[in-house]
Structure 1
Amino acid sequence: MSQKTLSSKKYRVNFDSSKYDILIGKDLLTSNLVEILSEKTKNRKILLVFDSFFKDKVSKNLAASLSKEGYDVYFYAMESGKHNKTISEAIKIYELLEISGFSRDSTIIALGGGVIGDLAGFVASTYHRGINLAHIPTTLTAMIDSSIGGKVAINFRKTINAIGNYYHPIVNIVDLDFIESLSQRDFKAGLAEIIKCSFICDKDFFSYLKANSAQILKRQEEVLFYIMCRTIEIKLEHVAGDVKEQAKRLKLNYGHTLGHAIEISTDTLQEVYRHGEGVSLGMVAAAHLAKQYLGSDETVLAAHEEILRQYGLPIRVETEKISFNRDDLIKDCVLNINKDKKKKDNKLRFVLPKEIGSCQVYDDIDEDFINKTFDYIIK
């Protein structure tokens, strides 16, 4: 990555009664966190829920800095896989909070990717009806998507985010130093959420992503900083005034209804698709569905497949490579999509593109169109 010093940026978030800052830049962590904690609470008890990948790195350094400032730091290390976002994992954290004497003005710090942030956020939102939460996202997906907007949740059985809440942190620190720790696969999975934002509302941003893919895939800092900031801005624009997802915020689910069905249906003991990869597949599926249902131009679907291929993201489910029976997988996808939590009046809601940079929500789509879409995407 380039060694040029980046400026940092602050977004002041004002959702309902929640006001907090999102800070994005490099070398932000310790000084900003201590300053904000001292402003928000006098309670010195902190539980650091973190990805075990960082056990010998950031967590120890962060804990040492917090301890030096007089904080009483407790630890809960966990694996980051989506199979760990469960009620049983939440109960373990509740038990630690209880035996350690945490109260309503204590703080949970979530240091990790989307799984860590969702789980720790869910626990923070429910323990004593809500204790302080601070986000330190470490994956690209978490930095620009899952840690923003207040959604916290756990999975239940085979439903993603089935049990959840809306709960905002006291601060969200997006430190770009963590980007260097990501595998290329995880980095690309995060890019899917960035590409998604260009599809739903910003054609110029889409053009920028197409023109700058080489620099982005090399993680060039200045370009990466720009696309992350633009994505955060788009997310905040869609969440403002619609925190509980009744209207405009629904568009941020582009690719998720169909993508979640694929993720769940391929869910085995080994993770087949990262969340962003599922979203990539879901966006292609949504573009195909739009072609059938809306009569959108062929070029819309082609543009989806071209840019996602350009970034090394999946555009088809290749059943032979993942050892699934094609017919069985299609049946499972149809079954699982009907469990989608965003249903209204027992109707599935889909975000579909009429053109690049413009999407709308539709809720009266014939099941035959959905079946044909899964037939298209699953090979």
Structure 2
Amino acid sequence: MIPRVTATVDLAALRHNLGVVRRLAPRSRVMAAVKADAYGHGAVPVARTLEAAGVDALAVACLEEAMQLRQARVQAPIALLEGVISSEEAAQAVYERLQIVVHDHWQIALLEQLPASARLSVWFKLDSGMHRLGFPLTEVPRLVETLRRHPGWSFQGWMTHLACADEPDNPFTDEQIARFEAALAGIPGPRSIANSAGLIAWPRARTDWVRPGLALYGCSPMPGSTGAELGLKPAMRLESRIIAVREYASGEGIGYGLTYRCPERMRIGVVAIGYADGMHRAFRNGTPVLIRGRRAYLAGRVSMDMITVDLREVPDACVGDPVLLWGDALPAEEIAQWAGTLSYELFCGLTQRVHFRHLDAAGAR
């Protein structure tokens, strides 16, 4: 059976990108974000690749994501970025040797219900200005006292998250870092600040731990740039194929709502991908795809199972030709702009109808 839509993930690219991260922050340990199914790239093969490459830790959002990795025999340290939400989850996290990121006092209360013999591993998350999760910075003395009350807890460190790191000219990132540093002045424990944007654009954020996500998958978190410009290699190629070619007269409308009108007599290709595969309906006329190494352009609305493209720039295109939606030759950062979104959402939006292949130097997995 020939897959309609294939996402090919290059595991060697992940290792390359981890190397770029290490060169940017040579004195930092690396906690790789593999939450949300490794940003849509496949959590288990990605985690196994990064673990084999020597990453220091992995980060997921929740216990369910961590359990998927443990059941796949991933042994690397795993941090739960949202922590735990019940005493049952807390007990399971201890059993699975997970690091619990604690962001509120009610979570501390949950952990204190565990037996004194429980081997807890915790981070404390501080809110330095993002105003999402995290203890107010004024709570640091109280948190230090909590650690004193629980000498058996294995304290991993202090973390915070940056709100505007992808805006190099925005002074708020420096303000956040300064607040975080001031709140922890003289207090022991590793620090973790940088996400991908912080790692790339803010050297002060390269502390004891960095937490790259998007950069590991080969995309730039910085507006107006691509991963390749930063020395990164895109890890994913999304491809489909042409399943029909038709010729229409000038003025004919294409697709639902006839939102595209042929400006001249022209060939239209029908490609087997739609919003049921993760091709956003918000993509506008003119969104590029790549056929035979040349750009063709979306002509008409994205439908559930198909898109239609203007083939005037690829006159030799025919049924069966592969169509690249994004990948090394067509950056996801560029394509995302045509739907008014980010590459994060493109990757995470792929559905179970997409066939995934994970390739390494030895071939398909």
Q: TM-score, normalised by structure 1?
A: 0.30
More helix as a share of residues? 1
* Larger RCO (CA within 8 A; separation ≥ 6): 2
Which entry has the higher C-alpha Rg, 1 or 2?
A: 2
Q: TM-score, normalised by structure 2?
A: 0.31
